[in-house]
Amino acid sequence: MAHRKAFKWTDETYSMQEFIETFGHNLPVVMFIIVGWMGRDEEHEFSGDQASLHYSLTLIYLISAVKRQRRIVTKHSSGYFVSIPTGTSKKVDIFFPDGKETRSASVRDVAKAFKANVKGSVSMTFVNDEKVSFTFGPDDGAEINFGKMKVVDVYEERYLVAHSVFDGMSYTM
């Protein structure tokens, strides 16, 4: 037998940080999102003026977890910035300004090297300059040969794990 629980929307709004501080330890939570980014590209951004159009279809979510992911940001020779999770299994070669190299290291090792050296002085390539499959905007799973990339930052990203809710049912996105 399915349990139903009535709830009432409030007029309170929260930034991502405020939401995590207020509800992060009391999940799951049903949320009506009025401004946000759904993690793919600028086409997946939405704002309050779209809420009435998509109210029952896309903006009500069951938030089940808050996750953290440490990432490095590299700058590709073409000028693009590439964000890579430090937990990826892909092996990389690390290059230092003094000419030293570390072969077949992890991306986590790149983050450590960047923190230990003068920021911006570490570069990397994927081992054997292999093509790596990444999502780049609308090109899902495109294989790209990145070549040498300069490491420009290391940061920790926080994001919400959510499922859309429609007609009282939860759907995995």
| Band of residue 136 on the pLDDT scale cut at 50, 70, 90 | low
The better pLDDT of the pair 22, 4 is held by: 22
Contact 112, 119 (CB under 8 A): no
- Indicate the domain borders of the chain: 16-67+158-172, 69-156
Q: Is 41 helix (H, G, I), strand (E, B) or coil?
A: coil
Q: pLDDT over 70 for what percent of the chain?
A: 66
pLDDT of 110 reads 92
| Average pLDDT of every residue of the chain | 75
Burial 30-66 (b: 16+ CB within 10 A, else e): ebebeebeeeeeeeeebeeeeeeeeeeebbbbbbeeb
Q: Is the dihedral of CA 97, 99, 100, 105 positive or negative?
A: positive
Beta strand residue intervals within 58-111, DSSP E: 60-76, 81-85, 92-95, 101-105
| pLDDT tens string 66-108 | 999 999 999 988 888 888 899 988 889 999 888 888 889 999 9
pTM, two decimals, is 0.66
The better pLDDT of the pair 168, 75 is held by: 75
Burial (Cβ within 10 Å: 0-12, 13-18, ≥19) of residue 96? middle
Q: Which tokens in the block code for residue 8?
A: 């009432």
